[in-house]
Amino acid sequence: MSIFAKSVMVASCTFMLASLLAAIMDPLNSMNGESVAYFGPHVERREDVMENHRMLLEQQRSLFQSHLQERRQTLRGSNYTLLTPNEGYPQINIDRISEEVSKRIAKDIAAHLDVKTISNQVLQQFSASDATKEALPAENSEHHSEISREPSVVDKANKPVKVFILMGQSNMAGQGDIYGDRDGDLEYAILKKNRYRHLIHEQADGNYTWATKENVRYVHIDSESQKFNIKRNGELSVKNAEGPKRKIGPEVGIGWILGDQYPDEPILLLKVCTGNRNLGWDLLPPGSERFEMNGRVYAGYHDLEENWKNDTQPNQPENITVDFLKSHPGWYGGKQYDLDTNNAKKVLSKLDKFYPGAKSGYEISGFFYWQGEKDRRNDVYSHRYETNLVQFIRSVRSEFNATSAPFVVSSVAFDGHAMEGNTRKVFEAQMSVDGHRRKYPDFFNNVKSVDTRNIWQDIMGEIRQTEHYGSFGEAYIEAGSAMGWAMVQLLKQL
């Protein structure tokens, strides 16, 4: 683990543990009807305090699992697994160990032990027990035995496919470089920084091949030229990266987390997005109404003109029907929304083509959204972003008859913590929809915003396109992993 990553983990653990300790020391204020400041919004009922306790323990569990992931990466081919039984390793009982970690955290909180210390203690305890069936190597083990890489087979026939729909613009589509010798390229991070080694299979000659997440399939449908373009359709692997320049998006990080957490479930990551699209016009969702700003009227859903002067009428038919729009060659408000949702429905209507062997249908298990770069370039759309995003979340859920399906929104990260102006407006809008801010009651426990500002490095804006985070593949893995963990937390609250 890099020094930076260790620092972030220690800081995160210290902050969350301190917050939990403060809540444990004085949890009864709420019983008298007083408002209690607690790691976010104010709560007024004892049940809310206990729910927040439970959520913090879930965050500790997630940190613990991240620590296990780092340990698994350092073992480099040993015959043990810490998170992914479907890669051919023996399985450690992750639920038993995680349960023990949660108990130990609650018990030892006053001792100010960090999660890594506690998890190491528990792993040491379990390594000598029947829970593992094998002795667990020390954290810095140099053990390198030959192992079988035969994947386990997921029983797809008797389970519905868990479908996660990914939407957004170019960063969701994928702009992260894989190959290269610069710090930031994915291959450099794996070979020189010893990170993300779960993404490769190492060979005896020192070379490697890309690993495959066997229970996760990845489909990307692009709508360039307003067509149904199948960009990718296969098992999740870096080797299935996008285009001749070999780019990745957040799907690798997302898919590995979901595949690890639900190894016995068939999972489909269904990405429907195209680059250079904004929410204020291109992805404008159904139900969006016209509004006035700065002396102009801005389009609602299905308007043919993007904006026009006050006290005038747009140059379009008075009644615009769906049949009219189907034959209309030009653009209109929400056309990209229509293209993307229709393309997703086409995939789902022919599921066996995109998830071979799926015989029990599918369920919409969640949504991911990463977008905002184009809206930040427009004063009006950045100002309107929150309104549009709230409507987008509700509309997409309704579109797929999944009105309470978990929804993860990933923030913009341009300029990191120094962001300002329209970028800051878009960022704050994205963070405001998080359910635990309680601004939108119907989003509580089912919408989570992910703050990705820590993926930003100042050098990104100096060497390559700022809007694509320097095309650093490492940044896309980090963002995707954070999004994946956010989804796991929401799924566990259902």
Contacts of 113 (CB under 8 A, 6+ apart): none
Structural domains of the chain sorted by starting position, each given as residue range(s) with its CATH number in brackets: 3-127 (no CATH), 161-283+334-491 (3.40.50.1110)
pLDDT computed for residue 380 by the predictor: 98
For residues 270 and 272, what is the distance between their CA atoms, to the nearest angstrom? 6
Pair 474, 185: CB distance under 8 Å: yes
CB half-sphere exposure, 209, CA atoms < 13 A: 5
Q: Which residues of the chain have pLDDT under 50?
A: 4, 6, 8, 10, 17-46, 48-49, 53, 71-92, 109-113, 126-154
pLDDT computed for residue 393 by the predictor: 99
Helix H or strand E segment including 222: strand 212-222
pLDDT computed for residue 326 by the predictor: 81
pLDDT computed for residue 36 by the predictor: 28
DSSP 3-state of 464: coil
pLDDT computed for residue 122 by the predictor: 57
The pTM of the full predicted model, rounded to 2 decimals, is 0.71
- One-character DSSP codes across 99-125: HHHHHHHHHHGGGT--HHHHHHHHHHH
CA distances from 260 to 65, 107, 189, 215, 415 (A): 10, 28, 21, 9, 32
Residue 374: how many other CB atoms lie within 10 Å:
22
